Structure 1
Amino acid sequence: MEDLKALEERYTRPSEALIADVKKIDGDIILLGIGGKMGPSMGKLLVDALREAGMSNRVIGVSRFSNQQAKEELLAIGIEVIACDLLNDQELFALPDASNVIYLAGNKFGTTGKENFTWAMNAYLPGRVAEKYKNSNIVVFSSGNVLPFVPVTSGGVSEETTPEPIGEYAQSCLGRERIFEYFAHKNQTPTLIYRLNYAVDFRYGVVMEIAKAILAGKEIDLSTENVNVIWQGDANEIAIRSLLHCTAPAKILNVTGPEILSIRWIAKQFEAIFNIEPKFINEPVGTALLNNASECHRIFGYPKVGIREIIDITATWLSNGGDEFGKATHFQERGGKF
């Protein structure tokens, strides 16, 4: 396991660009909903970058913290933690003020059957947060699910494309965007809406799901044969650096890797590593949820970790017994039911 720890350490260090940018961030930084998949690694990256930059900004992580171990791990790396039910107005408005907010809160999986909770989290709560932090810079996590399925030959959709969300999860995500856009206009709150599509890491993501399917001899559905991915460490860096690019009216930013990837091609790369032939089912429909992130790359440069490196990292992690989150992306879902 020492080798895995070294691997993780190597791919989660802050870049020179991030260290340079955190020197420009004035004031404290609060991460709302830090307990999710990306929050803990983002918080650690931010603390590490601030430390290397010689900065003393407070980093505050807010979540329900139903998992006490997660809370202790964040405390151990230097993040101030506050247990809070963000839907409780009294608790929300008792949170400390901060000049910078990264908004990670939301609900996706389990939407079907809990639609009212999903809308409360994804569309009602943003208005309350926007009022609480109206004088802050706010980076709002959103999703490529708000955008339409497009031909795989299209190059993906840009930020100017009109959203066409399918299903209540995606619709509520658009609600989140629109509410933050409204308050950015009303209160002149500098805001950036961060449309992510999809982050991958050691413990979860599209690439890991393909690798696990091959190792388990399970069939891989090719109905949606194409996908965008970005290494989570790169996605975390972009989120933090985006605090310097918030505007009023709100800026929308697609965040993903530069390629439109083939699921079949990724599987074939793992076949060469594992010496196991992948099993495929269904024929490609020819459309997918695909982001054109060229504006993101113009601002921040290309991601540091490319797809071939991601495949190698994933194979090493799985082959050496690395742990997993066990949370599927459902990237093949075409009807919006999560």
Structure 2
Amino acid sequence: MNEAIQTLHPDLFPDVFRDVEHLEDFMSIPTQGVIDDLNRLDGDIMILGVGGKIGVTMARMAKKACPDKRVIGVSRFSEEGVQERLNDWGIETIVCDLLDRDAVNALPKVKNVIYMAGLKFDYRGREDFLWAMNTIAPQITAEAFKDSRLVTFSTIHVYPWSNPLHGGVTEADLPMARPGEYANSVVGRERTFEHFSKKYGTPGRTMRFVYAIDPRYGVMQEIASWVNEGKPVPLDTGHVNTMWQGDANAQFLRMLANTTVPASPINVGGPETVSVRYLARRFGEALGKEPVFTGVEQDNCLLVNCDKANGLMGNPVVPMDPMIRWVADWVKTGKPVHGKPSKFEVRSGEF
């Protein structure tokens, strides 16, 4: 069965993407590692918070990789059409509020769970909801799925900033309460899952995830759009980590086969330290525009070292050059975007 499943490799890279359907079909092609790891796991797969920017193609990749397993997507499904698309791909969907303990307890008790829910933006005036989503919902989930493998979504924003010349922070660096309630609440989310992993012996992994690249959103799309529109590209945060979203999907799914007891953190992202100035110039060449800059590169930024995950699962399949080409064409041709900026340039911690 597995030999018939299409796997991701450079021969499949398109010159450009025709439309959203073409993009999402490519982004959900599994690697051989995903196929092997998911099919050797016992039990089915559930993705909590599946309705976000990343979860949709991740669920589709899981279903492509193991068509004989149930793949269940759970969300409030506030965005129209998402639930129907998932269903069309053979993914079961359940509408659920993860703050509703009874509803979460009623979910199927599958063996493999990926937790992607959380709140980052637009929490002003509802800071209580931010903390509830990032600490109480994890407690409810951790107790309901104490007998499952539990891979949880986190962020590099839990880390201190560092000098980009020094290789980036590693998992050995303790999460630090940075300015802004978001980062603090995510430290709370990590510690909540860690506590219940220790209490129940739940196998887990905390994925400290860097900026995903999708032509519809992310660091590259933002920089390319600024260049295309003649807006100044801010340089104070002068270096970033990036990773093609399909590769990120693959590492999230494969981490189900690489959990620890108790749950432990791991950085997920590309191996390169990428210069914002370099990206702007590349996009300027592709778009026929001269980039305009503001500010100057500072001696610290939010940069992480992802050697551990890439050593475990191999470097990402999609390298920098095709990502730049795909994003430049997407922006140049005016294809649709999510309108949800990463705000990588924000240095205050307030999103």
Whether these two folds match at TM > 0.5 is: yes
Report the equivalent of 1:165.
Answer: 177
**Aligned-partner Cα distance in 2 for 1:266–1:194:** 26
**Aligned-partner Cα distance in 1 for 2:226–2:177:** 28
Which one of the candidate residues 229, 244, 262 is aligned to 1:216? 229
Equivalent AA in structure 1 for residue 89 of structure 2: I
Alignment of 1:81-92 (within 5 A): 81-92=93-104
Report the equivalent of 2:77.
Answer: 65
**Aligned-partner Cα distance in 2 for 1:143–1:244:** 21
**Aligned-partner Cα distance in 2 for 1:258–1:103:** 24
Tell me how far 1:23 sits from its aligned partner. Answer: 1.3
Equivalent AA in structure 2 for residue 127 of structure 1: Q
* Runs of 5+ unmatched residues, structure 2: 1-15
Which one of the candidate residues 21, 39, 53 is aligned to 2:55? 39
Structure 2 counterpart SS, 1:107 = coil
Tell me how far 1:322 sits from its aligned partner. Answer: 2.1
Q: Could you tell which deviates more after superposition, 61-70 or 119-128?
A: 61-70
Residue 285 in structure 1 maps to residue 298 in structure 2: yes
Tell me how far 1:18 sits from its aligned partner. Answer: 1.4
**Aligned-partner Cα distance in 2 for 1:331–1:107:** 16
Alignment of 1:322-333 (within 5 A): 322-333=335-346
- Return closer, same or farther for 1:2/1:258 CA change in 2, 3 Å cut-off: closer
Equivalent AA in structure 1 for residue 275 of structure 2: S
Deviation string, structure 1 residues 124-183 (Cα, Å, up to 9, x no partner): 111111000000000000000000010111100000102223211001001000010011
Report the equivalent of 2:8.
Answer: none
Alignment of 1:233-252 (within 5 A): 233-252=246-265
- Return closer, same or farther for 1:156/1:199 CA change in 2, 3 Å cut-off: same
Deviation string, structure 1 residues 292-319 (Cα, Å, up to 9, x no partner): 0000011110001111111011112223
Equivalent AA in structure 2 for residue 50 of structure 1: C
Alignment of 1:133-212 (within 5 A): 133-166=145-178, 167-212=180-225
Residue 28 in structure 1 maps to residue 44 in structure 2: yes
Task: Count matched residues.
Answer: 334
**Aligned-partner Cα distance in 2 for 1:110–1:170:** 14
Which one of the candidate residues 91, 101, 106 is aligned to 1:79? 91
Report the equivalent of 1:104.
Answer: 116
Deviation string, structure 1 residues 180-221 (Cα, Å, up to 9, x no partner): 001111100001000001111121100000000011111111
**Aligned-partner Cα distance in 2 for 1:114–1:2:** 39
Runs of 4+ in 1 over 3 A off after TM superposition: 4-12
Do 2:239 and 2:301's aligned partners in 1 also have CA atoms closer than 8 Å? Answer: yes
TM-score norm. by structure 2 comes to 0.92
- Return closer, same or farther for 1:330/1:282 CA change in 2, 3 Å cut-off: same
Which one of the candidate residues 18, 25, 29 is aligned to 1:13? 29
Equivalent AA in structure 2 for residue 327 of structure 1: K
Do 1:111 and 1:337's aligned partners in 2 also have CA atoms closer than 8 Å? Answer: no
Residue 129 in structure 1 maps to residue 141 in structure 2: yes
Structure 2 counterpart SS, 1:240 = helix
Report the equivalent of 1:225.
Answer: 238
Report the equivalent of 2:105.
Answer: 93
Report the equivalent of 1:256.
Answer: 269
**Aligned-partner Cα distance in 2 for 1:40–1:6:** 14
Structure 1 counterpart SS, 2:207 = strand
Structure 2 counterpart SS, 1:85 = coil
Tell me how far 1:8 sits from its aligned partner. Answer: 4.8
Deviation string, structure 1 residues 60-81 (Cα, Å, up to 9, x no partner): 1110112241111111111110
**Aligned-partner Cα distance in 2 for 1:335–1:318:** 28
**Aligned-partner Cα distance in 2 for 1:127–1:7:** 35
Equivalent AA in structure 1 for residue 134 of structure 2: N
Tell me how far 1:111 sits from its aligned partner. Answer: 2.6
Residue 3 in structure 1 maps to residue 18 in structure 2: yes
Equivalent AA in structure 1 for residue 139 of structure 2: G
**Aligned-partner Cα distance in 1 for 2:24–2:139:** 37
Taking only the aligned residue pairs, the percentage that are identical comes to 42
Tell me how far 1:102 sits from its aligned partner. Answer: 0.2
**Aligned-partner Cα distance in 1 for 2:184–2:84:** 35
Report the equivalent of 1:312.
Answer: 325
Equivalent AA in structure 1 for residue 116 of structure 2: L
**Aligned-partner Cα distance in 1 for 2:22–2:99:** 39
Structure 1 counterpart SS, 2:81 = helix
Structure 2 counterpart SS, 1:126 = helix
Structure 2 counterpart SS, 1:129 = helix
Structure 2 counterpart SS, 1:153 = helix
